A and B are shown apart, each in its own frame.
Chain A
Amino acid sequence: MHIDPLGEVMGRSTGRIGLLLLCLMVGLALFAPMLTQYSPSQRTDASPFSPPSKDHPLGTNDARQDIWTRLIYGARTSLSVAVGVALLSGLISATIGSTSAIFGGLYDRFWMRVVDAMLAIPAVIIVILVATYLQPNLMLMIVLISAMSWPGGARVVRAQTLSLKERMHVSAAKTFGAGWRHILSRHILPDLGPVLLAIMIQDARAAVFMEAGLSFLGIADPSMISWGKMMQYARVFTYLDVWKWWLLPTGIALSITLVGLSLIGFSLETALDPRLKDRREA
C-alpha cells in the first residue's frame, strides 16, 4: 500500500492539470485584496450593468458592485467551505472508521448501522431542508455539509484499517505489547494517508458543489459572497448582454474549481484501485 500521493498525482497529466487549476483558484482567493481596488460589497461610481472597462474588468452588476471583485472574493468562500468540510468530514471519517475497525464488536456494529442508514439518504436533500430553516453562514454550512458527508469515507477507512490491521508489522507491534493507541497512531494512520486524502478531495468537491447549489437556491446566509448566489441573480438578466461578463465568468470559475478537484481525485483513485493499475498506462 505504500503510495506516494503527491507523486501519483504529479505523475499523471490529469493530476497535473487538476493541481494547476486548483492552484489558480487558490491564488485568486489568497491574493484577492491585491487583485482589486474595491471591496466586494462596495457600491462603485459606475452605472449599473456597465460593460467591462479598465476600472471594472468584468463590469458591474445591478447594484453597481464590481463583478471581478465579487468573483475573486467568492473564491474565498468556496475554497473555505472546501477546506473546512475536507478537514472536518475527513476527521470524522478517519476517527469513526478506524476505531470501528480496531474495536469491532457492538461499537463497530452500531457505527456501521448508522453509516448504512445515512448512505441511503440523499444528502443534498437533507442539506437543503436544514438550510431552508437555518440560513447557514460559513461555519454552519461547513458543519452541516460535513455532518452529511462523513459516512462514505468512514466505510472506506474502516475497510482499509481492517486490512492494515492484519499486516505483519502490526502483529509484531502487538507482540511487543503495544496498545491500540500506539498501533493506531504509528502503524495504521500513516498508511491510511493516501486513502484519506482521496476521501478528503471528494468531500471538498462535493462541498464546493453543495455550497454553490444552496446559494443558487437562495437558502444560504444572504451576506455571504458566493458564486452560487451570483449565478442566481445573474440568471434573471439573461435577456440583457450582461451574462457575458457576469453569469459566464462566475460559472467558469465554479467549473474550474470543481474540474480541478475532480481531476486530482480521479488520478488519486486510479492510483488506489489495484484493478486499474497497469504498467502500460502513464
Chain B
Amino acid sequence: MSMDDLSRGSGGWIDYTIARAIEWPGKAFSLLCKGGILANYIIAILIILSLNFLLPRMMPGDPLQAIYGDEALVAMTPQLEADLIHRFGLDLSIDQQFIAYLSALAHGDLGYSYYYGESVSQVILAFLPWTILLAGSAMMISTAIGLLLGMESGYRRGQPLDKLLLAGVIFLSGLPDFFIGILLLIVFGVSWRVLPLSGALTPYGDLHGTALALDLLRHLAAPLAALVIVRMTSTYLLTRNSMIATLGERYIVTARGKGCSERRIQYMHAGRNSLLPVVTSVGLHLPNIVTGALFVEIVFAYPGVGWLLYNSILSRDYPLIQGILLMVTLSVLTVNMAVDLAYRRLDPRVGNAH
C-alpha cells in the first residue's frame, strides 16, 4: 500500500472503457495526447532504451564483453569479433550506434544469447508462458481475496474481525515475498514433503489430461500462494479504505432510512461503489506482481522469466538480461497505459485533476 493508492481515489469500469477504446482508436489516441499520457510513456520508454544502450557502452574495458557477456568470449574468434563489431557498429560514432540499436529493436532483434545458443527473443518466449501463468493467476486470486476480505473488514470497522484482519494483513504486507516463498518451500517441500521442491512439471513425467493438470497445479501451488499472500494485502487495504469512505456517504443513510436490509447495504450499496477504485488499481499493482513473481520463481526454480533472469545474471549473459528487463518493462508500461487510458476516459475528474 502507498499514498499513491489512496490518492487515486476515483475510477470507473475498465472493461467497458477498453471496449470503447478499441472501438474508436482515433478517439482514444486524441484522448491520450490530450491527457499528455502518451508523452509520459514515450519519455519512460526513451529512458529505458537509453539506459539499455548506454550502460554496457559506458563500462570500463572492452564494450564487446559488456554487450555480449563472458559466454561470448569463449566462442570468440577474430572473424566473429569483426562481425560483432560491424554488427553493433562499434566502429561508428555513438549517435549512429544508437540509431543502429533502435532499428535492430524495431525489427524485434533483441540480440543473441551465447549461453543458450539462440536468439534472445526465442529464449524468452520459451520461458514466458510460465511467468504469465504465475503472475496472471496471482493477480486474479489476490484481487479476489483482497476484495472479499476488504469488504467484510471495512463494513465491520472497529469490530474484532476487522481488527484481527487488519493487524494480520499489515503484518503480512511487511514480509518480503521471496522469504514467504522460502518458508512455504521449507514447510511443504522439505519438512512435510507434500509439494515438489522445484520446477513447473515433473521431468520426464509423460503425463496427460487430468494427471498433467494436477501435476501443474501441484507445482504452481506454493509459488502462487507466496505471491497471493503478499499481494492481496494492497487490494485489501484499498478496499477497506474505500468501503469506509463509501459508508460515510449520504446515500447509505438514505438506504438505511428506506429500510434496506444490512446485507443489501453492505454488498449492493457500499460494496459495489467501493469497487471502482479497486478495479482501476489492479493495473497499478501489476509491476509489483511481476517483480514479485520474478523473485518467487527464483526460490522455487520455477522455469519462468525470473528464473531465466537469475541464471543469466549468474552467467553474465548481458544480452539476455537486457532483453528480459526490456520486455518486462515494456509489457508493464503497455498495461499501465491501457489502465491510465481506461480510467481517464471513464472518469473525467481524473483527467482534470492536474
Given contacts A217-B298, A217-B313, is CB(A129)–CB(B179) below 8 Å?
Answer: no
> Are the C-beta atoms of B174 and A152 separated by less than 8 Å?
no
A117 within 8 Å of B by Cβ? yes
| CB of A273, distance to nearest CB on chain B (Å) | 6
Assembly CA distance A113 to B47 (angstroms): 13
A164 within 8 Å of B by Cβ? no
Assembly CA distance A159 to B290 (angstroms): 29
> Are the C-beta atoms of A258 and B321 separated by less than 8 Å?
no
- B174's contact among A129, A219, A247, A258, by CB below 8 Å, is which? A258
| Chain A residues with CB below 8 A from B298, complex form | 216-217
Question: Looking across the interface, which residue of chain B has its beta carbon closest to that of A133?
Answer: B55
A39 within 8 Å of B by Cβ? no
A77 within 8 Å of B by Cβ? no
> Are the C-beta atoms of B175 and A255 separated by less than 8 Å?
yes
| Chain B residues with CB below 8 A from A43, complex form | none
| Chain B residues with CB below 8 A from A280, complex form | 158
Assembly CA distance A260 to B337 (angstroms): 34
> Are the C-beta atoms of A216 and B178 separated by less than 8 Å?
yes
- B44's contact among A14, A118, A133, A212, by CB below 8 Å, is which? A118
| Chain A residues with CB below 8 A from B309, complex form | 128, 217
| CB of B241, distance to nearest CB on chain A (Å) | 6
> Are the C-beta atoms of A129 and B321 separated by less than 8 Å?
yes
> Are the C-beta atoms of A254 and B179 separated by less than 8 Å?
yes
Question: Looking across the interface, which residue of chain B has its beta carbon closest to that of A198?
Answer: B3
- B28-76: which residues lie under 8 A (CB-CB) from chain A? 36, 39-41, 43-44, 47-48, 51-52, 55-56, 59, 66
A172 within 8 Å of B by Cβ? no
Assembly CA distance A155 to B345 (angstroms): 22
Question: Looking across the interface, which residue of chain B has its beta carbon closest to that of A247?
Answer: B182
Question: Looking across the interface, which residue of chain B has its beta carbon closest to that of A240?
Answer: B190
Assembly CA distance A156 to B7 (angstroms): 9
Given contacts A209-B176, A238-B186, is CB(A117)–CB(B325) below 8 Å?
Answer: no
- A251's contact among B182, B325, B328, by CB below 8 Å, is which? B182
Given contacts A113-B39, A212-B176, is CB(A132)–CB(B321) below 8 Å?
Answer: yes
| CB of A242, distance to nearest CB on chain B (Å) | 12
Assembly CA distance A213 to B310 (angstroms): 12
Assembly CA distance A199 to B190 (angstroms): 40
| Chain A residues with CB below 8 A from B183, complex form | 251
| Chain A residues with CB below 8 A from B245, complex form | 275-276
- A255's contact among B39, B176, B197, by CB below 8 Å, is which? B176
> Are the C-beta atoms of A129 and B44 separated by less than 8 Å?
no
| Chain B residues with CB below 8 A from A255, complex form | 174-176, 179
Given contacts A202-B3, A258-B174, is CB(A129)–CB(B322) below 8 Å?
Answer: yes
> Are the C-beta atoms of B179 and A113 separated by less than 8 Å?
no
Assembly CA distance A19 to B49 (angstroms): 42
* Residue among A113, A152, A259 facing the most chain B CB atoms (10 A cut-off): A259
| Chain B residues with CB below 8 A from A122, complex form | 287, 290-291, 328-329, 332
| Chain B residues with CB below 8 A from A125, complex form | 287, 291, 325, 328-329, 332
> Are the C-beta atoms of A259 and B241 separated by less than 8 Å?
no
A239 within 8 Å of B by Cβ? yes
| Chain B residues with CB below 8 A from A202, complex form | 2-3
CB-based A-B contact count at 8 angstroms: 153
| Chain A residues with CB below 8 A from B218, complex form | none
> Are the C-beta atoms of B179 and A120 separated by less than 8 Å?
no
Given contacts A120-B333, A266-B1, is CB(A259)–CB(B174) below 8 Å?
Answer: yes
B157 within 8 Å of A by Cβ? yes
B131 within 8 Å of A by Cβ? no
Question: Looking across the interface, which residue of chain A has its beta carbon closest to that of B292?
Answer: A124
Interface string of A2-39 (1 = CB under 8 A from B): 00000000000010000000000000000000000000
A51 within 8 Å of B by Cβ? no
Assembly CA distance A218 to B248 (angstroms): 49
Interface string of A108-141 (1 = CB under 8 A from B): 0000111011111110111011101100000000
| Chain A residues with CB below 8 A from B158, complex form | 278, 280-281
Assembly CA distance A117 to B38 (angstroms): 10
| CB of B55, distance to nearest CB on chain A (Å) | 5
> Residues of B at under 8 Å CB distance from A?
1-4, 6-7, 36, 39-41, 43-44, 47-48, 51-52, 55-56, 59, 66, 157-158, 167, 170-171, 173-176, 178-179, 182-183, 185-186, 189-190, 197, 241, 244-245, 248, 287, 290-291, 295, 298-299, 309-310, 313-314, 318, 321-322, 325, 328-329, 332-333, 336-337, 354
Q: List 23 A-B contacts (CB under 8 A).
A: A116-B36, A117-B47, A119-B4, A120-B44, A121-B329, A125-B329, A129-B51, A130-B55, A132-B321, A152-B4, A159-B7, A213-B178, A235-B182, A238-B197, A243-B190, A248-B186, A258-B174, A262-B173, A263-B171, A266-B1, A272-B3, A275-B245, A278-B244
The list of the 8 closest CB pairs from A to B, nearest first, reads A259-B174, A262-B174, A122-B287, A117-B43, A251-B179, A124-B291, A116-B40, A120-B44
